[in-house]
Amino acid sequence: MPPATDETLARLEGLGHRATGSRRAVLDAISLKHAPFTVEDICEAAPGVGRATVFRTMKLLQDLELVCRLPLGDGGVRYEVSRSEHHHHLICSRCGAVTEFSDPELDALIVTNARREAFRLDSHSLELYGLCAACSAAPNALRNP
């Protein structure tokens, strides 16, 4: 997981969070994931860690922007390791592929709209759903996923 698990643990400790054995186990499990994953995936990969601890650790990692929470069109949730600064997601409705993209102009427009409404923006996320290039090219791409 970028940054490496040891670096992530050092960052946690630097921010006043303990590097417990359970957190290390969760980070180790995440480091093995190369595609979006669920909390259940992490629970299976770290069987000695309680489900509530996995959820709390995922929330902490999300708050630190080390992982991203991906709400899916079907109501499910997946997570992925953050590979860049603030970004958004393109999510394939058929195969589940996730692609990150950044657009400073889009982010500025979001801030402008919030200010226009006197809305104090704390954060934002944007997920776009559709078909990736591979699924679009598939013979049955015209059918609903």
Please indicate, yes or no, whether the overall pTM of this predicted structure exceeds 0.75. no
* Separation of alpha carbons 61 and 18, rounded Å: 13
Mean pLDDT by 10 residues, the chain (145 residues): 66 85 92 88 94 93 84 82 80 86 92 96 87 87 53
Does the domain made of 85-145 have the CATH classification 3.50.50.60? no
Q: Give how far the C-alpha of residue 63 lies from the chain's centroid of Cα atoms, to the nearest Å.
A: 11
Instruction: Show me where the domains of the chain are located.
Output: 1-83, 85-145
Topology (CATH level 3) of domain 1-83: Arc Repressor Mutant, subunit A (1.10.10)
Nearest to 8 by CA among 65, 79, 52: 65
Omega prior to 139 cis, within 30 of 0: no
Let me know the angle formed at the C-alpha of 49 by 45 and 27, rounded to the nearest 5 degrees. Answer: 60
